[in-house]
């Protein structure tokens, strides 16, 4: 069997300060939670008893309601952008040149050419298709590792990176959650892609000849049951990306190995499709996020999502308190993920001199359905900061609302 090469992993570098970073190192001087625009001041410390906590929650909930009513009253020609109100005072005259707005400045730098979008994999990878869906007509730049896609943006080789974060069958792509934290890029969008896997082999090869199936680990796990149903109880080996697996089979003229990849990969690398639609569920979908060096300006005129990551040191029911900061403001959470805290994996808890218990420490990633331009989101985060030792907004970005379709031509 031809061994599968391992790829180089480049070291990480360059850190850019996050525009929305709330850092508990500055906890004595917390950032204003837009108190003037919302008529709502940041709530101070929360008492330690259950009664204290419940009454704080009740106060918060009533303030949120009155704040929402106030916002409705003074809407009119005043727009709230990131907690600041802007007035539209100039009468419209269509003959005059239109003033540039902040949103004209925030989209992609175009270099007079196509937007350059880095993705992990080689042409034919699903990440390439996601890049095309997110930015039609972009120049997709293949990268051998996720880390390299991050660096391509950090070093201005690319304008955006597109990164898979979760799949409806395989779950979260944990490595990318860790990378989001290690790098300083901002999430500026999301895109969901129907993933339709094919079993690919050299022309003339039959299923009976196969001794091995290779693909990206996510693709292998998404097709696990179907492979067994097809009688392919052969070795399954993980490689860096699906299209790379197809390319490898073709380049090495392997007649005993099949790849799981897209129909486009079959075309590109001259392979035949032995079986079509081999994902274990026809509604197999992967969610990708788009990353940029600068955040986009959050808006309120369309549905937005915000992604945060936080950690906490100690305290009772911290996770409950954090999640209720969203619940009391009717903000829906769409995702929660925990990852081991790399810098502080474990915490020792003194148990009244009897002994010490060890607790694992985590970073929590939460996605919620609100824009950072909304006072309710700003207030929720100001409150979350009270309970956490670290809080970072990874991005506030438009939700992918495109109707989902399971077809291969999606």
Under 8 Å between Cβ of 290 and 165: no
- CA distances to 30, 177, 284, 366 from 404, rounded to whole Å, are 41, 24, 11, 23
Choose the stretch contacting ligand PRE; rule: CB under 6 A; options: 104-112, 124-132, 340-348, 368-376: 124-132
Q: Which of 242, 257, 286, 306 is catalytic?
A: 286
The reply on whether position 121 binds ligand PRE by CB under 6 A is yes
Angle between helices 50-73 and 318-327 (to 10 degrees): 20
126 contributes a contact to ligand PRE by CB under 6 A = yes
Strand boundaries in 15-59, DSSP class E: 22-23
- Should residue 164 be labelled a site residue for ligand PRE when binding is judged by CB under 6 A? yes
Q: What are the CA-CA distances from residue 182 to residues 119, 177, 207, 395 (Å)?
A: 18, 9, 43, 15
Site for ligand PRE in 262-291 (CB under 6 A): 286
For position 167 contacting ligand PRE by CB under 6 A, the verdict is yes
End-to-end CA distance of the chain: 36
Burial (CB < 10 A; 0-12, 13-18, 19+), residue 323, is: middle
Tell which positions 208-237 bind ligand PRE, by CB under 6 A.
216, 218-219
360 given a catalytic annotation? no
Which of residues 200 and 391 has its CB atom nearest to ligand PRE in the complex? 200
Which of residues 125, 210, 213, 254 is near ligand PRE by CB under 6 A?
125
- Determine if 242 is a binding residue for ligand PRE (CB under 6 A): yes
φ, ψ at 345 (rounded to 5°)? -65, -25
Stretch that binds ligand PRE, among 4-12, 241-249, 321-329, 377-385 (CB under 6 A): 241-249
Is 286 a catalytic site residue? Answer: yes
CB of 278 to ligand PRE, least distance (A): 13
- Give the residue, chosen from 147, 190, 241, 386, that forms a contact with ligand PRE under the rule CB under 6 A: 241
Distances (CA, A) of 381 to 31, 56, 117, 373, 407: 10, 16, 31, 12, 39
Catalytic positions are 286, 288
- Which residues sit at the interface with ligand PRE, rule CB under 6 A? 121, 125-127, 164, 167, 173, 195, 216, 218-219, 241-243, 286
């Amino acid at each position: 069997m031809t061994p599968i090469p391992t790829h180089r992993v480049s070291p990480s570098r360059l850190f850019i300060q996050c525009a929305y970073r709330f850092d508990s190192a500055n906890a004595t001087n917390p950032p204003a939670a837009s108190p003037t625009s919302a008529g709502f001041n940041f709530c101070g410390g929360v008492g330690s008893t259950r009664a204290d906590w419940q009454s704080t929650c009740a106060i918060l909930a009533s303030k949120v309601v009155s704040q929402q009513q106030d916002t409705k009253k003074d809407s009119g020609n005043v727009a709230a952008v990131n907690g600041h109100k802007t007035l539209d005072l100039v009468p419209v005259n269509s003959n005059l040149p239109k003033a540039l707005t902040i949103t004209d400045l925030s989209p992609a730098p175009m270099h007079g050419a196509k937007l350059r979008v880095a993705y992990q994999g080689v042409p034919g990878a699903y990440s390439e298709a996601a890049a095309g869906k997110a930015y039609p007509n972009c120049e997709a730049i293949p990268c051998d590792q996720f880390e390299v896609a991050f660096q391509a943006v950090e070093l201005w080789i690319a304008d955006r990176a597109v990164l898979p974060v979760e799949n409806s069958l395989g779950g979260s792509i944990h490595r990318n959650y860790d990378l989001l934290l290690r790098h300083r890029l901002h999430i500026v969008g999301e895109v969901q892609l129907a993933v339709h896997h094919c079993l690919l082999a050299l022309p003339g090869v039959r299923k009976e000849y196969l001794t091995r199936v290779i693909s990206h680990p996510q693709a292998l796990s998404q097709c696990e049951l179907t492979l067994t149903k097809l009688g392919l109880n052969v070795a399954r080996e993980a490689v860096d990306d699906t299209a790379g697996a197809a390319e490898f089979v073709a380049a090495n003229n392997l007649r005993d190995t099949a790849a799981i990849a897209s129909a486009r990969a079959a075309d590109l690398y001259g392979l035949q499709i032995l079986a079509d639609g081999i994902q274990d569920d026809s509604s197999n979908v992967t969610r990708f996020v788009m990353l940029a060096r600068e955040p986009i300006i959050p808006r309120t005129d369309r549905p937005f999502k915000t992604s945060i990551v936080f950690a906490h040191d100690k305290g009772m029911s911290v996770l409950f308190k954090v999640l209720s900061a969203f619940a009391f403001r009717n903000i829906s959470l769409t995702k929660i993920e925990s990852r081991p805290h790399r810098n502080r994996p474990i915490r020792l808890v003194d148990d009244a001199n009897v002994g010490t218990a060890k607790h694992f420490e985590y970073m929590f990633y939460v996605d919620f359905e609100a824009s950072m331009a909304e006072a309710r989101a700003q207030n929720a985060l100001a409150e979350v900061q009270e309970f956490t030792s670290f809080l970072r907004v990874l991005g506030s970005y438009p939700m992918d609302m495109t109707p989902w379709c399971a077809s291969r031509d999606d």
